[in-house]
Amino acid sequence: MDRLMVSTPISTLTVGQLKALIKESVEEALTEADVDAGLQLRPEVAERLQRSLRSRRQRLSHEKFWEAVKV
């Protein structure tokens, strides 16, 4: 995080600076909360994942998924 941002009041930030700060904070939180960090997939799980990726089934982007379920 930018050292200037640490002591800067939020009320003085631009919209762009605030968005960048929020994005950086979320990424930091997600990285710190990675409970699977350093672990390896079991061979049978890795194989199942590879089979799934090779399959011809249609895949949806998350945008299309949410459009389909209309949430």
pLDDT in tens, the chain (71 residues): 555 567 789 999 999 999 999 999 998 888 888 788 789 999 999 999 998 888 877 777 888 888 888 86
Please report whether residue 14 resides in a domain: yes
End-to-end Cα distance, the chain? 34
Please report whether residue 52 resides in a domain: no
pLDDT at res. 61: 84
Cβ 26 vs Cβ 38: under 8 Å: no
Please report whether residue 6 resides in a domain: yes
Please report whether residue 54 resides in a domain: no
pLDDT at res. 22: 94
Cβ 37 vs Cβ 30: under 8 Å: no
Full residue range of the structural domain in which residue 1 is found: 1-35
Please report whether residue 17 resides in a domain: yes
Number of domains in the chain: 1
